[in-house]
Structure 1
Amino acid sequence: MVSRAQRGAVADWFWTIDRFFLALFILLMGIGFMLSFAGSPAVAERLGLDSFHFVRRHSIFLIPSLITMIGLSFLTPRQVRRTAVIMLAVMIVLMVLVLFFGQEVKGGRRWIGIGALSLQPSEFMKPAFIVTCAWLFSEHARQPEVPGNLFAILLYGMIVALLIAQPDLGQTILTTAVWGGMFFMAGMPWLWIILLGGFATGGLVVAYTMLPHVAGRIDRFLTGEGDTFQVDTAREAIIRGDWLGRGPGEGIVKRIIPDSHTDFIFSVAAEEFGIIFCMALVLIFALVVMRGLTLAMRERDDFTRFAVAGLVLQIGVQSMINVGVNLELLPAKGMTLPLISYGGSSMVAICVTAGFILALTRHRPEKRAVERSLFRSGIGVPAE
């Protein structure tokens, strides 16, 4: 056990980290590893690979993911901001390169090869974009003469243009929802809300009109006609699981779900472990969001408040999209379940998000001491 009397970096981290947040993130990673045994062997066998090929790769991805999350949690808010700005600049460059040199998968260019690895820059863009926009919003709130909101709007437009060019409508919707939530927290005027809402609606109409694969997915969702094999099979897996599931390794329908280890891992969990288990999994994600928003509301620093709220919204909205698709409440869209689904880029990127959250929500005694000192002198307000 680490002593409170110690003053080393590890001791300071241990006593200042939000251990409830840390436990939730590690719990989700553990559940994801467990579910990889249920969802991935059938996919590996269809591809002619060893049954536990994806299980081994998932376990390998856990190591850099955990190191990334813990390492970033040591940063100060200023270091988080600087790291995010640098990361965003690098990811924007890579997202441009993806359009020309990226690997085409299912009609989209979202991956770029770096040596023996494949990287999806848009996954790492999300937490960096959120933190950078939080900084821009906070600067405008602190100094109204600084055009932080305008820069955030221009940055949003650039990111959305790159996502649509790939094309990746799911990430576009996710980014728009989180960015809009942060802008609303930053005091967006109602005129802006109406204008941006109209812009988002118009964007969906244009996507439906101009992108055949988008129109196809929406039409299949509304009419139930066409190739609905994947979502129908996922629904069947959930139904067969009932309340308590068929038991570990006893799932049958999961074996024919094409993306059972990634986009439809929730359906696999329902078939083998039951609806009650899935409800508990949803509750964990809800706790992450509620914990983050509660801490954000208590925070006096605008940057920290906007960043923490935006980062937990990213996890919450992404999990809602994934679960909604599995339950046929939303049109089919490839979106991983954070920290659960298989995928190196997705897992490491979500751990970047988690690391930023842990860094920004650490208890900082020196900050509290300053606030109490200012209060005693009649300058500030007492710290909570």
Structure 2
Amino acid sequence: MSLGTRIYAELRGDRTIWTIIAVLSIFSILVVYSSTGTLAYREMSGNTEALLMKHFMIVAGGLFLTYLAHLLHYMRYSKIAPYLLMLSVPLLIYTIAFGADINDARRWITVPFVSITFQTSDFAKLALILFVARAISSKQDYIKDFNSAFLPIIVPVLGICGLIAPADLSSAILLFFTCVSMMFVGRVALQYIGLLLLLGIVVFAMLVLLGEFFPEVIRSETWVSRVRDFVDQPDGGYQVQQAKIAMANGEWLGLGPGNSIQRNYLPSPYSDFIYAIIVEEYGIFTGMLIILLYVLLFFRATRLVTKSPKAFGAMLAIGLSISMVLQAFINIAVSVHLVPVTGVTLPMISMGGTSILFTCLSFGMILSVSKYIESVS
């Protein structure tokens, strides 16, 4: 028996989801290596192999994290959810006050002694989804009650999203709508969900107003300018135009691995606009395959909702999958000028240590639910 066969035999849970993870990981390594040439020459004297090895180690570490996470019974994640949520609050506050300023945004903190940057919003996002899944599942007997069920859920949702928004509005909005979707699936009364949407709009308006007085903390001017550019420029700004050129270059079959032209003109071709590089090098057919992989992930997760014997497993699977798929679609929509530029990455493909590791951890939790359903059936 070959090594690959033995490893495959050791994996538990939905094999289709494992396959999706493997395919996305392969594309991540290939396209990040191709698109980081300019970055390597700018920061590492042209040593593209060093960037490749760093990214490969992150992906490999993430896959190992997926494996470890899927071994644990998913109910253990329910037990630690409140503690993770409590930890995320001081982390987010610290990031706002003392975070590293990268690309005019304070989204990262530097880990002492090792000088590694850590994006706290990724940790908070996972913590909030775990908490909301736990809260909804534990309150199913009185889920329609305002005081006992709805209030204990919306306060953390508005609080965490409000703390993420000053430096990363896009992630805050995606997380907010993920929680709203979970509440809809969890049978929360529609009038309460409508109230939450209204409160979300109020919080957003308050942040925009506060941004006028604290521009160094709240990036409201950036939000407004991106929306204005989206409305005033039908063909998109410089970034979107270069992304469109990249995808047009790719046509149906692509220019071939490593042959991207627009990677030298696109800002962040290895993160925000990596989908354009995929289409340029591998063609529209491959771009459609990437979209289908995310759609397939969502449908495999919805199967877990109907089969999970425990409500927490169902809410965990649907919450994490909605978060990843929604983020993927927004990232792709930016490249084709369907939404304003957001700065969100393509899950499991874009370069970024924190993003990949927490995405892999999310995959592991979904597979933990799948593994338990397998063992029961």
TM over 0.5, yes or no?
yes
TM-superposition CA deviations, 1:185-219 (whole Å, max 9, x none): 11122211322233334455555665111010000
Match of 1:133 in 2: 132
Match of 1:379 in 2: none
CA RMSD of aligned residues (A): 2.5
Q: Is residue 170–residue 343 contact of structure 2 (8 Å, CA) maintained in 1? A: yes
1:256 Cα deviation from its structure 2 partner: 1.2
Specify which of 249, 258, 262 is matched with residue 253 of structure 1. 262
Q: 1:297 aligned to 2:306?
A: yes
Unpaired stretches in structure 2, ≥5 consecutive residues: 212-219
Q: 1:123 aligned to 2:122?
A: yes
Distance verdict in 2 for CA 1:16–1:352, change over 3 Å: closer
Q: Is residue 40–residue 52 contact of structure 1 (8 Å, CA) maintained in 2? A: no
TM-superposition CA deviations, 1:226-257 (whole Å, max 9, x none): 99211111111111111111112222122111
Match of 1:228 in 2: 237
Q: Is residue 41–residue 54 contact of structure 1 (8 Å, CA) maintained in 2? A: no
Specify which of 16, 38, 42 is matched with residue 42 of structure 1. 38
2:234, 2:187 → 1: CA distance? 43
Letter in 2 for 1:96: I
Match of 2:173 in 1: 173
1:56 Cα deviation from its structure 2 partner: 2.0
2:61, 2:255 → 1: CA distance? 33
Match of 1:184 in 2: 184
Unpaired stretches in structure 1, ≥5 consecutive residues: 3-9, 369-384
Distance verdict in 2 for CA 1:226–1:286, change over 3 Å: closer
Match of 1:380 in 2: none
Match of 1:101 in 2: 98
1:259, 1:29 → 2: CA distance? 19
SS at match of 1:258: coil
Match of 1:151 in 2: 152
Match of 2:215 in 1: none
Match of 2:17 in 1: 21
1:357 Cα deviation from its structure 2 partner: 0.6
Match of 1:215 in 2: 224
TM superposition score normalised by structure 1: 0.87
Letter in 1 for 2:95: V
Match of 1:30 in 2: 26
Match of 1:381 in 2: none
Letter in 1 for 2:157: Y
SS at match of 1:109: strand
SS at match of 2:371: coil
Bigger Rg, which one: 1
Match of 2:85 in 1: 88
Match of 2:109 in 1: 112
1:15 Cα deviation from its structure 2 partner: 6.9
Distance verdict in 2 for CA 1:195–1:255, change over 3 Å: same
TM superposition score normalised by structure 2: 0.88
Letter in 2 for 1:73: H
Specify which of 352, 355, 361 is matched with residue 370 of structure 2. 361
Q: Is residue 174–residue 314 contact of structure 1 (8 Å, CA) maintained in 2? A: yes
Structure 1 stretch displaced more, 315-324 or 26-35: 26-35
1:20 Cα deviation from its structure 2 partner: 1.7
1:178, 1:281 → 2: CA distance? 21
- Between the two proteins, the alignment pairs up a number of residues equal to 359
Structure 1 stretch displaced more, 286-295 or 46-55: 46-55
Q: Is residue 18–residue 363 contact of structure 1 (8 Å, CA) maintained in 2? A: no
Structure 1 stretch displaced more, 144-153 or 341-350: 144-153
Structure 1 stretch displaced more, 76-85 or 106-115: 76-85
SS at match of 2:270: coil
1:329, 1:223 → 2: CA distance? 13
Specify which of 51, 56, 71 is matched with residue 74 of structure 1. 71
Letter in 2 for 1:126: K
